[in-house]
Chain A
Amino acid sequence: NAGVTQTPKFRVLKTGQSMTLLCAQDMNHEYMYWYRQDPGMGLRLIHYSVGEGTTAKGEVPDGYNVSRLKKQNFLLGLESAAPSQTSVYFCASSYAGGMNQPQHFGDGTRLSIL
Chain B
Amino acid sequence: DQQVKQNSPSLSVQEGRISILNCDYTNSMFDYFLWYKKYPAEGPTFLISISSIKDKNEDGRFTVFLNKSAKHLSLHIVPSQPGDSAVYFCAAGIGGSNYKLTFGKGTLLTVNP
Determine the distance from Cα of A102 to Cα of B37 in the docked complex, in whole angstroms.
13
Q: Are B100 and A45 in contact (CB under 8 A)?
A: yes
Is residue A43 contacting chain B, with contact meaning CB distance below 8 A?
A: yes
Q: A99-B51, A100-B49, A102-B34 are in contact. Are A45 and B101 (CB under 8 A)?
A: yes
Question: Contacts of B49 on A, CB cut-off 8 Å?
Answer: 99-100, 102
Q: Are A99 and B98 in contact (CB under 8 A)?
A: yes
Closest chain B residue, CB of each to CB of A97: B99
> Contacting A90 at CB < 8 Å: which of B32, B44, B51, B99?
B44
Determine the distance from Cα of A97 to Cα of B9 in the docked complex, in whole angstroms.
29
State the interface size on chain B (CB cutoff 8 A): 27
Q: B22-51 vs A: 1/0 string, CB under 8 Å? A: 000000000010101000011111100101
Q: A42-B89, A43-B44 are in contact. Are A101 and B98 (CB under 8 A)?
A: yes
Judged by DSSP, the binding face of A is loop
Closest chain A residue, CB of each to CB of B32: A99
Closest chain B residue, CB of each to CB of A39: B105
Q: Are B99 and A31 in contact (CB under 8 A)?
A: yes
Q: Are A98 and B98 in contact (CB under 8 A)?
A: yes
Q: Are A102 and B46 in contact (CB under 8 A)?
A: yes
Determine the distance from Cα of A11 to Cα of B10 in the docked complex, in whole angstroms.
29
Question: Contacts of A65 on B, CB cut-off 8 Å?
Answer: none
Q: A40-B105, A42-B105, A43-B103 are in contact. Are A105 and B45 (CB under 8 A)?
A: yes
23 A-B pairs (CB sep. < 8 Å): A33-B99, A40-B105, A42-B6, A42-B103, A43-B89, A43-B101, A43-B103, A48-B100, A50-B99, A90-B43, A92-B43, A98-B97, A98-B98, A99-B96, A99-B97, A99-B98, A100-B49, A101-B98, A102-B98, A104-B46, A105-B36, A105-B43, A108-B43
B contact residues vs A (CB 8 Å cutoff): 4, 6, 9, 32, 34, 36, 41-46, 49, 51, 89, 91, 96-106
